[in-house]
Structure 1
Amino acid sequence: MADFPPERLHIGPPFTYVGVDVFGPWQIVARRTRGGQAQSKRWAMLFCCMSSRAVHIEIIDFLDTSSCINALRRFFAIQGPAKQIRSDWGKNFVAAAKELGLNRQQLDMAVQNFLSRQGCSWVFNPPHASHMGGSWERLIGLSRRILDAILLQENIQLTHDVLCTLMMEVTAIINARPLVPVSTDLESPFILSPAMILTQKVGVSPPQGDFTDEDLLSRQ
């Protein structure tokens, strides 16, 4: 196995070095009509802190440059500016380029111009090297599992507002996971988690499940 990227071992504030990717889509109810319901699609953009392993998820409406920049602006407004963002050449960038009639280089320049004003750089992994983004691909898989468990447990009709709420709960569950082996020592009952690093609060965790055979949340 190759060495960790330098960003994984960097000591600094959370979300200084960030990995990002887009996953989805989900069908949501956009509006109700006389004949039924109009459906629409939504995607999620996941930001992963390379050092603290915390996540931040934003819902986007389209796979285009405007939605990407708006998600970046919301992320910077909440978590503060990042020094470096890393991603792969995913299909979302190719699809956005086709939709806008731009080639890949022009699409990147539109995003790079915004990032340069924020003092941030965007680094792309080599093509066909998805393993180099394993640090955030693993968390995307975990996000999908948690969201699927929530949707299976309850008969939920997805709207944009409901999806945003569920994604915030998914974020809270992921950030409450332990980063180190759980100690059995009674003198150290607290568990180090990304949420503790972000909020500086002890005991911040989402409500747990019922821990029954039918409870899907307890299996994640």
Structure 2
Amino acid sequence: MRLDTRLQYAEFIPYDVRHPVLLPRKHWVTKLVKHYHEKGHYNSGTNQTLSSLSTKYWIIVACEETIEWEKECATCKRRKAKNAEQIMTPLPTNLLKLSLRSFARAAVDFRGPFLTKQGRGKPWQKHYLCLFACLASCAVHLEMAYGLDTDSFMRAFCRTSNRRGLPEEMISNSGTNFVGANEELCKLTRQMIESSKLKENFVNKVVKWTFNQSNAPHFSGVFETMIKAAIRTILAILGNADITDEELLTAFTESEYLLNSRPSTYQTTDPEDDVPLTPNHFLFGQEEEDLYQK
């Protein structure tokens, strides 16, 4: 069956266009919509598919038939699919506790190695970046570790505690050096509590250590972001130069100062607006300009 259209006397138009084949809806023959949809390389919309069909066929309620097939097309489903949205869980309790000083609750992570020259005829040495991140003020403290063993980390942890204060709670991944450090601290704590006469004063200095799950870096977003930023700034400072231990340590401190100078909130371009807080405000207790003036 063919349809009589208002173009039946237009002899310059092909016969199939003037008298298209009439097809019912929801019939297996009508599935030829698939052919014209694929002919448009899956990129043609509904109107383009209907235009191609009208050159030979007339489908009853063709628009709805075309839309139904587009919903069944696997290629269109993949092309039009929306990206999955990550459901953000509530923040853990250790990030929401209030503290009166920085680095009371901190996280630690390692990166490296960095190769440093030791002198003529001596082999190059590997050193590592040990980053301590404050969970309250988002401040960072960068230490240079001379190895990945437990002893090297314990020395870096002692240097940080001597300058920033002993943390009350530590968070890290399940690295062997961190687990070994926790065991050493627990062993040292038990020995000092048993032998020391100042038992009541020392109990308040016990460090609580929390380990994240293995192979789950997304649990460590607080300090993984800081590690990436620290590596980027250190490489920008050093470049491809051959460096010594002293130069590497200086680059660590410069990177630490840059990271602690970042604003914690959005900074506008209006000079009359208040200066946003930075981690250095919490570490120094004043603005950097006032610090240099005094």
TM-score range, shorter chain: 0.7 to 0.9
Contact 2:117 2:242 in 1 (8 A): yes
For residues 28-80 of structure 1, give each alpha carbon's deviation from its aligned partner in whole angstroms, at most 9, with x where no partner exists. Answer: 102322xxx52010001100001100000110111111111111111110001
Structure-1 residue corresponding to 2:145:
60
User: Unpaired segments of 5 or more residues in structure 2?
Assistant: 1-87, 191-201
Distance in 2 separating the partners of 1:174 and 1:50:
14
Structure-1 residue corresponding to 2:265:
180
Cα offset for 1:182?
Answer: 1.0
Structure 1 position 39 matched with structure 2 position 124: yes
Q: Please say which of residues 156-165 and 167-176 is displaced more in the overlay.
A: 156-165
Structure 1 position 124 matched with structure 2 position 124: no
Q: Which amino acid in structure 2 is aligned with residue 31 of structure 1?
A: G
Contact 1:85 1:121 in 2 (8 A): yes
Higher strand share: 1
Specify whether residues 62 and 180 from structure 1 end up closer, same or farther in structure 2 by C-alpha distance, changes over 3 A only: same
For residues 161-204 of structure 1, give each alpha carbon's deviation from its aligned partner in whole angstroms, at most 9, with x where no partner exists. Answer: 11000000000000000001114454444221001111012135
Specify whether residues 9 and 204 from structure 1 end up closer, same or farther in structure 2 by C-alpha distance, changes over 3 A only: farther
Q: CA RMSD in A?
A: 2.2
Distance in 2 separating the partners of 1:192 and 1:130:
28
| Percent pairwise identity | 28
Structure-1 residue corresponding to 2:26:
none
Structure 1 position 15 matched with structure 2 position 80: no
- Counting only pairs closer than 5 Å after superposition, residues 93-108 of structure 1 correspond to structure 2 as 93=176, 108=182
Cα offset for 1:126?
Answer: 1.4
Distance in 1 separating the partners of 2:289 and 2:93:
30
Distance in 1 separating the partners of 2:120 and 2:229:
32
Structure 1 position 49 matched with structure 2 position 134: yes
Specify whether residues 82 and 133 from structure 1 end up closer, same or farther in structure 2 by C-alpha distance, changes over 3 A only: same
Specify whether residues 204 and 174 from structure 1 end up closer, same or farther in structure 2 by C-alpha distance, changes over 3 A only: farther
Contact 1:147 1:167 in 2 (8 A): yes
Cα offset for 1:114?
Answer: 4.4
Structure-2 residue corresponding to 1:214:
none
Residue 235 of structure 2, aligned match among 145, 148, 151: 148
Q: 1:147 aligns to what SS in structure 2?
A: helix
From the CA coordinates, give the structure whose radius of gyration is larger.
2
Structure-2 residue corresponding to 1:171:
256
Q: 1:127 aligns to what SS in structure 2?
A: coil
Distance in 2 separating the partners of 1:197 and 1:188:
20
User: Unpaired segments of 5 or more residues in structure 1?
Assistant: 98-103, 206-220
Cα offset for 1:112?
Answer: 3.3
Higher RCO (Cα < 8 Å, 6 or more apart):
1
Contact 2:154 2:181 in 1 (8 A): no
Distance in 1 separating the partners of 2:285 and 2:270:
22
Contact 2:106 2:169 in 1 (8 A): yes
Specify whether residues 49 and 204 from structure 1 end up closer, same or farther in structure 2 by C-alpha distance, changes over 3 A only: farther
Higher helix share: 2
Specify whether residues 176 and 121 from structure 1 end up closer, same or farther in structure 2 by C-alpha distance, changes over 3 A only: same
Q: 2:114 aligns to what SS in structure 1?
A: strand
